[in-house]
Each structure stands twice: as C-alpha cells, then as structure tokens.
Amino acid sequence: MRNRSVTVIFGSLVLWGLITYFLISDQPVSKERDIARISNQISKLERRVKQEITLNQELLEDIKEDKQQKKKVDIINANAYKKQKDVNHMNQDKIFLEKERTDIEKNNKNAQQIQINSLYSSETSYNVPMKGKLLDGSPIIAILVFSCNRITVQRCLDQLIKHRPSIEQFPIIVSEDCQHRQTAEVIARYGNQIIHIQQPDQSDIEVPPKEKKFKGYFKIARHYGWALNYVFFQLRYDTVIIVEDDLDIAPDFFEYFLGTYPLLISDNSLWCVSAWNDNGKAGLVDEKAADVLYRTDFFPGLGWMLTRQLWAELSPKWPKAYWDDWIRQPEQRRNRACIRPEISRTRTFGKTGVSNGMFYERHLKYIKLNTEFVYFTKMNLTYLLKDNYDINFVNEVYQSTVVSFSELKSGKVVAPGTVRIPYYSRQAYKNTAKQFGLMDDFRSGVPRTGYRGVVTFFYKGRRVHLAPSANWNGYDITWS
C-alpha cells in the first residue's frame, strides 16, 4: 500500500516536471510565432497604406485635372456668355419672368401667374437689352401698352405691329389689369409678336369715402406703378413709350420718337416726349406743318416717352391715384418741359372709360391724327434744345402783332405773319380760349400746351400766340 502511494507520488512529480518543462520550452516559440504574425500584419498594413496613398495621389491628380478642365470650361462658357449676351438674351428673360412669377406666388397666394405667350420666336434674334442699345448702337425703345377690360385693344395693337419698323428695336409689352377673360384672349392671339404680362395684385383698394366713385383712378395708378417698375427694373429697358389701349397711332409714330430721342437724352430740361397735342383739333393746327414741334410745360400724356432715370426719380413717391395730375405738380415737373407736335401722332377712340368720356365729345374726338410721314431722324431738331428754343420763341411771340379775337374772326387783321392776343388774368385766358375752341383748363397753374405761359395754335391761316405779359414770372398754381 505504501509502495503504491510512493509510486503515485513519484509519478505525479515526474508528470508535473514534464509539463513544466514543455511549458517553459514552448513559450519562446509562441512568442516568436506571435512576433512573426504581428510583423506579417504590419507588413500587410504598410502595403495597404501605400496602396491607399498611391490611390489618393491619383485621385488628387484627377481632381486637379478636373478643376483645370472646369476652369477652362468656365472660361469658355464666360466668353460664350458674353457673346450670347450681345446677341440673344432670351434665356435671361425667361429667368427674370420666372423669378417674378415665383416671388409673386410666395408673397400672395391669390396672385395671378404672369403669362408670357411665347416670349420670343426661335427664328429671331429678338433681344431684351442690358444697356438699351442694339449692336449697331441704335436705341431700343420698349412700347408699354396698358390694357384692362377693352377688347378694342386689338385695334391699338394691330396698328403698332403694322407701323413698327423693327421688332428688335421696338418690343411691344402689353400689361393687362382687371382679369378680363375676353381681353386676355385677344392679347394672347398675338403670340410672339408681343410680350404679355399681367398685373398680379387684384385685391380691393382702400379709397377715401368721398372718392369711392373714383376708385378706377386708384387702380390705374397701381397698375402704372407695377408695370413701369417691371419693365424698367426687371426687364431692364432704358427707354419706354407708354400707350393706352384706346389710342390710334400715326404712320410716323415710331419715326417721331426715334427722331426726338436724342433730345430727351441730351437736354436735362426735358423730361418727356409726347405724341399728343391737347389743342390739336382740325382747324386749330397747320395741316401743312406736320414737321413742326414745340416745347411745352404742360405734361400731355397720351403716347409719351420717358427714361429709366426719370422713373427711378418718380417711382419711390408714385401716387395712389390721379397720377397724371400728380405728375404735373411743380414738385414733380421741376421746371422741365416736354416735346409735343403741331399735329398729333396719337388719337383716342376711347369714349367710355374711367373718366366717363370727360372732354371726349367737346375736344378729344376732333383731334386730327397726322397722315403725312415725316422723317424726323433726318432732320436737325436742335432748335428744340432749351438754349436755342427760348430765345427764338420769346422773340417770335413778343415781336408779333397784337390783335383781338374779333379782328381775327372777321379777317380784319392787315399785318402779315404771326399774331398775339394778350391775357392778364385767369378769367381773361379762359374767355379767349373758349372763343377759339381751345381747352381752357389749368393743371397746377399751367394751361394745356403752354410754354412760358404762351399757348400757340393755328387759326384761319395764321399762327396765334395767346400770351401773358412779356415780364411773365412763372405759373400761378391758384389758377387751377
């Protein structure tokens, strides 16, 4: 029993010794294996890192090449854009108009989408200007037609399209108010011959209780303000001719404005050119003097040209109503004059409207429309510049023979040439004006067609000046 125990103990000691030996002898091998394995992994990682670095370098090279390529493309595009900008700005127009439409939808849920009916034809180089000039340096003058609820706008548009010499030089923009379906349909028929825009704000207008019956004048002023802002500041035209939807135009309508454009640009004492003569009735104009033009302190309207510079001055203080009388106030006119013709280049056929036919039966329907084509662009019109005009005009008026209405009417005037009828009071002027059939009203103290207080017209083969005293010192606003 004892021997067996000894044997067991001895065997256990031997086994423990063997195990210890192998454990001790195996440790260096395991470490070597671990070191080898780790070295292996590091080598693999190094290879992968090198591969990644190589790959990244290749990517960086590609990026550099892409940037260089993009820069080249940008330069090419920029050059192409510059050329394209001078030739055709159709895409810019679409962007402008689309931006306007988007802004309106964001700010007014009830706003009406601006509709452009085939803005430009793909076969034409119809440009929207960036600086108001064609490639040959000729001015681009936009025609802005104001329309509301009269389908007779077709009559006006037909004449404008018929007589305009160039679609590029005289783009026609029809601004429509009132949401009148029939009128919109008529305008839409013209397709790419015009640009069709719609006044988006159709909300009701607050009107003072005493002026409720004149709400139409408030809507007109709102429409004018929006449309002129749009044409000058969005479409970026430099010069605009305003036409109402009830106007006939003369065959030389465009030639008249082209010829007078240099005067408007060069003479700071001018602020508009009008195609209208307020006293241009048959019998009060010299039908043989279709080429004669005048300066006037009275703003005529009814087909008139203005610049972006003037609109930038007027737009911040644009009135809520009665814009035409507002523009005649001394604060707006600032002693500036307009050009007007002896024989009108426009005539209104709009008997009905917001004014309910005021003056139409007595005056407007008798206005003579010019029929003789005058080449104003070939004429020297520098006599209309203020420094030239004032001296000659004053001399002609106050050196002419003084006569009375009765002498003229009876034909008893013996002296040849121009004559003068003096007036010294508001009532004296009104009495004489009525005798001749002139319009006898004043706006901010200025009589219609007046220049330095003088109203010039034609009567029984004579030039007549209805004139204040020679020492005239300005208009009296209380005469209105």
**CB of 129 closer than 8 Å to CB of 208:** no
Distance CA 96, CA 229 (A): 13
For 263, other C-beta atoms within 10 Å of its C-beta total 18
- Cβ neighbours of residue 421 under 8 Å, at least 6 residues apart? 402, 403, 404, 405, 408, 432, 464, 465, 466, 467
Structure tokens given for 131 = 């600086």
Count the alpha carbons within 13 Å of 244 in the hemisphere toward its beta carbon. Answer: 20
Query: CA angle, corner 321, sides to 315 and 327, nearest 5?
Result: 55
Helix (H, G, I), strand (E, B) or coil at 274: strand
Alpha helices in 290-420 (DSSP H): 308-314, 323-327, 330-333, 386-398, 405-410
Report the distance separating Cα 64 and Cα 58, nearest Å. Answer: 10
Phi, psi of 136, rounded to the nearest 5 degrees? -90, 5
Token match 């010039």: residue? Answer: 456
Longest dimension (CA), the chain: 179
465 by DSSP, 3-state: which? Answer: strand
Q: Is 324 a catalytic residue?
A: yes
Q: Annotated catalytic residue: which of 324, 440, 441, 476?
A: 324
Q: Where are the alpha helices (DSSP H) in 328-443?
A: 330-333, 386-398, 405-410, 426-436
Catalytic machinery residues: 324
